[in-house]
Amino acid sequence: MNPYYQDDSITLYLGDCRDILPKLDGKYFVFTDPPYNVGKNYDGWNDSMPNGEYFEFCATWIEMCRRLSDEMCIYPPKKHLLKYWNMLGEDYQQVIMTWTPEGAFRYGYVDQFATLLSNAKPKKRTKNVWNGVQVQGLGYFFKENNFGHPGYTSEDITSRVINNLAGEVSVLDPFGGTGTTARVCKNMGVKCVTIEYSEKWCEFMVMQRLRQTSLFEHV
């Protein structure tokens, strides 16, 4: 199984994570922001599955990640938070992420928080409420470039997760997106393996987020 891209710290695979994960070995810390099944355009990925099919998909990749990771942190959709929590298990704890500006209007409320679920023991003194996080729903107050990706995860959230929860093992992200996890790991000197379904976003990840200066060749 050849990587799409590889350097001293980052390994990127192109494909469905359900095909790639069984071929990996070793131990990792998993952090990922999976597809939420809300009809976003992920360049060929079906983000509008029937709920039963979506939950079966989630259960599959979660079990595959368990084989590779004793500690994980998942950024679940608020709509399916309880379902994810049940799939992950009662040993998972909430980390609440809040912001001050008014967020998106959802389910009759003005959104002011998001949730992470993790079974990782913090590697330093860590609060379970993280204030002032950067999320796309902040509109004008969102200060990061989302690169036009519909499911962009902020470097702010990612760096907090890796800094507080990951420890010394390599990080694994089965839903690479624009490569935020890879970029943050590279910044922090942490090894990372990431998987992305779309070749468009794999190419973007390499050329833009990992700051390649010339056309790359597949390994």
Considering only CA atoms, which of 89, 180, 181, 73 is closest in space to residue 126? 73
Give me the DSSP letters along 71-123: EEEE---GGGHHHHHHHH-TT-EEEEEE-SS---EETTEE--EEEEEE-PPPS
- Of 192, 162, 178, which Cα lies nearest the Cα of 9? 192
Which residue, among 208, 206, 172, 209, has the nearest Cα to 5 in the 3D structure? 206
- Are β-strands 10-14 and 170-173 bridged in parallel, bridged antiparallel, or unpaired? unpaired
Q: Read off φ and ψ for residue 56, nearest 5 degrees.
A: -65, -40
* Per-residue pLDDT, 122: 97
User: 126 φ, ψ to 5°?
Assistant: -135, 125
Going 39 to 43 to 49 to 54, the CA torsion angle's sign is: negative
Please tell me the distance from the alpha carbon of residue 63 to that of residue 18, in angstroms, as a whole number.
10
Domain residue ranges in the chain:
5-75+139-209
Architecture of the 5-75+139-209 domain: 3-Layer(aba) Sandwich (3.40)
**Residue 116 CB-half CA count within 13 A:** 28
Going across the sheet that includes 93-98, the strands are 5-6, 10-14, 192-196, 170-173, 28-32, 71-74, 113-118, 93-98, 129-130
Instruction: Supply the pLDDT for residue 215.
Output: 36
Residue listed under structure tokens 């790991």: 185
Would you give per-residue pLDDT tens digits along the chain (219 residues)? 899 999 999 999 999 999 999 999 999 999 999 999 887 888 888 778 899 999 999 999 999 999 999 999 999 999 999 999 999 999 999 999 999 888 778 778 888 999 999 999 999 999 999 999 999 888 889 999 999 888 899 999 999 999 999 999 999 999 999 999 999 999 999 999 999 999 999 999 999 888 653 333 333
Contact 174, 61 (CB under 8 A): yes
Residue 141 to residue 137: CA distance in whole angstroms: 9
Cα separation, 182 vs 205, whole angstroms: 9
> Tokens 């891209």, residue?
5
Q: What pLDDT sits at residue 88? A: 98
Can you name the residues that pair with 74 across neighbouring β-strands?
32, 117
For residue 211, the model assigns a pLDDT of 66
Entry pTM: 0.92
Cβ(195)–Cβ(176) under 8 Å? Answer: yes
